[in-house]
DNA sequence: ACATAACCGTAACGCTTGTTATGTGAATGG
DNA sequence: CCATTCACATAACAAGCGTTACGGTTATGT
């Protein structure tokens, strides 16, 4: 329901109806709607975190698995990502929620950074600041999610995987480390 | 005002007040709110398109300029991107608006594709399907926008440019063209 | 067992929303 | 020069919103 109507069309009554309760229950646990939204995001976060990781592995394949785990490749992942993208509207309008999101993505980058560092030690990725590489990789995945959600025809599952592998291939090939021409 | 409250907090009266008119004017020109929103997005699109391009240039620097033009590097670009990201919520909930977005991003990819193809002919980029490379590049930029909006501290202007140059450097270095190990 | 608090449904409140109806002055055109 | 349409303000409308008040039930502690 959140996946279909987004956070913009979220009402207390709709939430209450969906879980077979009333607005009285909601206001009892959440003083205001903002708190309900914040809770929904936390819930979504931990649901995303406990997604069935597709055999993580180590090294570059671990990085690949982590990035694959984000993409909207399944119906469930599509719903989750729709809710996630939808939340950016309400989050941008509320500094507190915005800060939560910043923290979440920073944490996600850190996990990716560790995986990248591990891949570097295995020699599967060229040297370079792993945090910086992680920031780039997460940008890529996030943007791919957005495009895939809006244009599922142009970005079917195999295309998304294809593009991800393109990216990883480019990452793995050692480019010159120094400043490119401006 | 849209930049601050997003599309979720958009009301006819607020729009009317902002341009010194009343709801009567709005309903006269737009049968329903959906049409007002659609018009706002078209307006934003052509405003983004006619942004002062920073000396486009040809080849790889043209690609770089096009991608730089999207990033939230200035206060104005931050506002524009906030509105843009905010629109994703209402767009995902409305198939018609969703289709408009898909078309917009497809068009943007096409422009990028042409620039990339030109860079390839100059030998500044290795061969490979330019449309595919463009899809990857736009994913990267889009995701970088999102992260920069939520965490401006971690993604100041110079960091964004840095990351973009990292990406372009990786693009420019010829990786093996064939399938990477899965 | 009894007082107290937690739990939660019911219903109302005030407000804002998108939309519609109506009025009025300006423009238009035959 | 008058009839008609256009452009827009004003105002009202019903619906839906988040929030609050209150009542009854259930649990909890003493």
Contact A83, A93 (CB under 8 A): no
- The helix-helix angle for A130-150 and A59-68 (nearest 10°) equals 30
Structure-token pair, residue A83? 């809710």
pLDDT of residue B28 exceeding 60, the answer is yes
For an interface test with A, the pick among B14, B94, B180, B182 (most A C-beta atoms closer than 10 Å) comes out as B180
Rounded average pLDDT over B40-44: 95
Contact B72, B78 (CB under 8 A): yes
Domain spanning B2-172: CATH 1.10.357.10? yes
On chain B, the residues whose CB falls within 8 A of the CB of A143 are 138-146
DSSP secondary structure code for residue B32 in this structure: S
On chain A, the residues whose CB falls within 8 A of the CB of B141 are 139, 143
Strands (E), chain A: none
On chain A, the residues whose CB falls within 8 A of the CB of B85 are 88-89, 92
DSSP secondary structure code for residue A179 in this structure: P
Residue of A nearest to B86 (CA): A89
Q: What is the pLDDT of residues A82-104, one digit of tens each?
A: 999 999 999 999 999 999 999 99
Contact A89, B85 (CB under 8 A): yes
Per-residue model confidence (pLDDT) at position B166? 97
Per-residue model confidence (pLDDT) at position A175? 62
pLDDT of residue B83 exceeding 50, the answer is yes
pLDDT of residue B182 exceeding 90, the answer is no
B12: closest CA of chain A, how far (Å): 16
Which residue positions in chain A have pLDDT lower than 70? 52, 54-55, 175-182
pLDDT of residue B161 exceeding 90, the answer is yes
Per-residue model confidence (pLDDT) at position A122? 95
Nucleic acid strand D within 7 Å of A39 CB = no
Region of B153 (left: φ > 0; alpha: ψ -120 to 50; beta: rest) is alpha
Per-residue model confidence (pLDDT) at position A182? 39
Handedness of CA A27, A32, A35, A36 (dihedral sign): positive
Per-residue model confidence (pLDDT) at position B102? 98
Q: What confidence tier does B57 reach under pLDDT thresholds 50, 70, 90? A: confident
CA dist B61 to A1, B57, B133, Å?
A: 45, 6, 16
Per-residue model confidence (pLDDT) at position A88? 98
Question: Using CA atoms, how far apart are residues A84 and A41, in angstroms rounded to an integer?
Answer: 8
Q: Where are the domains of chain A?
A: 2-172
Structure-token pair, residue A69? 């785990």
Among chain B residues 19-78, those with CB within 7 Å of any atom of strand D: 20-25, 28-29
Contact B119, B63 (CB under 8 A): yes
B28: closest CA of chain A, how far (Å): 25
Percent composition of chain A: helix, strand, coil (DSSP 3-state, to 5): 70, 0, 30
Question: Using CA atoms, how far apart are residues B132 and A155, in angstroms rounded to an integer?
Answer: 11
Per-residue model confidence (pLDDT) at position A177? 47
Residues 6+ apart with CB under 8 A from A103: none
Q: What confidence tier does B180 reach under pLDDT thresholds 50, 70, 90? A: very low
Per-residue model confidence (pLDDT) at position A178? 42
Question: Whole-number Å distance, CA A53 to C1' D30?
Answer: 50
Q: What is the pLDDT of residues B111-157, one digit of tens each?
A: 999 999 999 999 999 999 999 999 999 999 999 999 999 999 999 99
Structure-token pair, residue B1? 């005002």
């Amino acid at each position: 329901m959140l996946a279909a109507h987004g956070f913009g069309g979220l009402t207390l009554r709709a939430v209450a109806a969906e879980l077979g309760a009333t607005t009285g229950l909601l206001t009892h646990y959440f003083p205001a709607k903002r708190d309900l939204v914040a809770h929904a995001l936390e819930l979504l976060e931990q649901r995303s975190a406990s997604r069935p990781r597709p055999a993580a592995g180590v090294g570059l394949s671990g990085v690949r698995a982590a990035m694959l785990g984000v993409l909207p490749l399944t119906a469930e992942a599509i719903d989750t990502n729709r809710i996630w993208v939808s939340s950016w509207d309400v989050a941008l309008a509320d500094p507190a929620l915005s800060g939560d999101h910043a923290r979440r993505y920073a944490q996600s980058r850190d996990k990716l950074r560790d995986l990248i560092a591990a891949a570097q030690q295995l020699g599967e990725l060229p040297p370079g600041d792993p945090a910086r590489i992680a920031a780039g990789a997460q940008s890529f995945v996030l943007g791919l999610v957005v495009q895939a959600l809006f244009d599922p025809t142009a970005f079917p599952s195999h295309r998304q995987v294809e593009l991800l592998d393109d990216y990883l291939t480019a990452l793995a090939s050692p480019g010159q480390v120094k400043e490119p021409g401006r």
